[in-house]
Amino acid sequence: MYKHFHRLAWLAFALATVVIVFGAFVRLSDAGLSCPDWPTCYGRAAWPTQADPAAHLEEAGRAFARPVETHKAWREQLHRHLAATLGLGVLALALLAARRRRFGMAAVVGASVLVAAAIPLYMQGAHVAASLLAGLGELILVVAALRWSNADLSRVAALTLAVIVFQALLGMWTVTWLLKPIVVMGHLLGGLATFSLLAFMAWRATAGSMLVQADAPKLRRLLAIGLGLLVLQIALGGWTSANYAALACGTDFPTCAGQWWPQADWREAFVLWRGIGVDYEGGVLDGDARVAIQMAHRLVALLVFGHLLMVAVRLWRTPGLRPWGTALAVLLVAQVALGISNVHFGLPLAVAVAHNAGAAALLFVVVSLLTRLRTPQ
């Protein structure tokens, strides 16, 4: 393994954290459609600013059928630039990890060239050709990941690059499909998958990072269950946000609109695909469907809290793992407090962004422990 691989992996992980938190800020500040085109913003590599003549801003708004909001556009386009920088970091990791594989460098470079060539084609309106090139690049990376072992992290590095490419596609569809909820939720999950894969690579590449415990198999099983529950809860959180259901119960907690079990439309709440061409900004569901989404998010939160709190107690009682148990318990309590504050105070931006960051922090602790725990030889 390249001697600086772990440093690059940790740097990419830190940047992924920034991208996730800043992405939450963009989404929650209603700036997700502030750049109506992709990957440019009103035709620019940067973004319109207040320094531009008013006539130019009005012309750009007419050309793209959306008024220019300079105070929001910079958020969306800066997020794209940060994500692109992260993509270059992941590409460097994939190249380093694949250099000892037969045709490894050729596979990574070839896939990247295909994806890069798809972008100008898309901008020129050749959407089918662009999709075919991007899909072929993805296929090359997935096949390479399946063929390679993970002893030198080449498999997970190729897989992470494939996820990054798919994330770019989801980012494009978020704009072109007008904040379609399934795409918005998928974009969130893809970002956290990248975050988790980078944490895995960083720990594995760091010498002496393994935690040797006799009861590691039992702890890993409990953590795996916790990871599944946490991913489900994060997905529900993304679905809640994408459907503008965070305040479906008003500012009531633990009741919802003054009731313990309010009227809710569970069937309509979880229809994942509703076609293309609908503007989802502001949400399209009625109140009962949004209530169902909010209630599901609260109920699964109870499961996650109960299970991970039990895991935290188990970790706290295990010699050598007490700091991890303490961290997990503190993050759990903080996350619940942030969730309640979101409802009680009417979804203040700072609290809502912190709630997203808290989910990422919990995910990091669980993934780190799953990666590092090992039984004695």
pLDDT by residue (tens digit) across 305-358?
999 999 999 999 999 999 999 999 999 999 999 999 999 999 999 999 999 999
pLDDT at site 2: 65
pLDDT tens digit sequence for 168-227: 999 888 888 888 999 999 999 999 999 999 999 999 999 888 998 988 999 999 999 999
pLDDT at site 138: 96
pLDDT tens digit sequence for 88-145: 999 999 999 998 888 999 999 999 999 999 999 999 989 899 999 999 999 999 999 9
Structural contact between residues 308 and 362, judged by C-beta atoms closer than 8 angstroms? yes
Instruction: Give the integer Cα–Cα distance in Å for 362 and 335.
Output: 9
Mean pLDDT of all residues belonging to the chain: 94
Instruction: Give the integer Cα–Cα distance in Å for 276 and 298.
Output: 30
pLDDT tens digit sequence for 224-255: 999 999 999 999 999 999 999 999 999 999 99
Asked whether the predicted pLDDT for residue 1 surpasses 80, the reply is no
State phi, psi for 373 to the nearest 5 degrees: -70, 130
pLDDT tens digit sequence for 48-96: 999 899 999 999 999 998 999 999 999 999 999 999 999 999 999 999 9
Catalytic residues: 76
Instruction: Give the integer Cα–Cα distance in Å for 171 and 229.
Output: 25
Instruction: Give the integer Cα–Cα distance in Å for 370 and 223.
Output: 7
- Predicted TM-score (pTM) of the model is 0.94
SS3 374: strand
Residues above pLDDT 90, as percent of the chain = 85
